[in-house]
Amino acid sequence: MLSLSRPASEMRVRACQCGFCRRHGTRTIADPAGSVVISTASPDQIRRYRFGLRTADYLLCATCGSYIGAVQAEPDGRLISVINVGGLDVAEFSGVAADPVVYDGESIADRLARRRTYWMPAVVTEGPSRQ
């Protein structure tokens, strides 16, 4: 469930230019004032992948291979995330042009700081709710 603080037309859509993102047709959004809940029926429906600086988990659908988004664990235990609206086919973002971005050369500290500024609060549940 994606909860945004402003309309899709006011959101910046980004297209990372790394090989992973280009192969997955990545068009990401994040809203620091919004939130996202990523949930699956069972843990085996999501594959986690870490690459590069190993600072985030990239979530992939175990069935079709679509890139869902990435999550970064914060020191206080919270998660922050960016969501791939292209791979998830989020209707509100259909046809919205994405700004190409390149993150090559970022230090780990710079990457973490950028994400803390731009990414949104997230919850990932992998299995039945235990209420």
Taking all residues of the chain, what is their mean pLDDT, rounded to a whole number? 92
**pLDDT (0 to 100) of residue 88:** 85
Q: Compute the half-sphere exposure of residue 99: CA atoms within 13 Å on the CB side of its CA.
A: 8
- To the question of domain 12-126 being in CATH 1.10.10, the answer is no
- At residue 125, does pLDDT exceed 70? yes
For 13-47, write each residue's pLDDT tens digit: 999 999 999 999 899 999 999 999 999 988 899 99
CA-to-CA dists, residue 18 to 2, 23, 91, 92, 102, angstroms: 25, 9, 25, 25, 7
Q: CA 31 to CA 118: how far, in whole Å?
A: 7
**pLDDT (0 to 100) of residue 131:** 43
For 66-106, write each residue's pLDDT tens digit: 999 999 999 999 999 999 998 888 889 988 889 999 999 89
pTM above 0.75, yes or no: yes
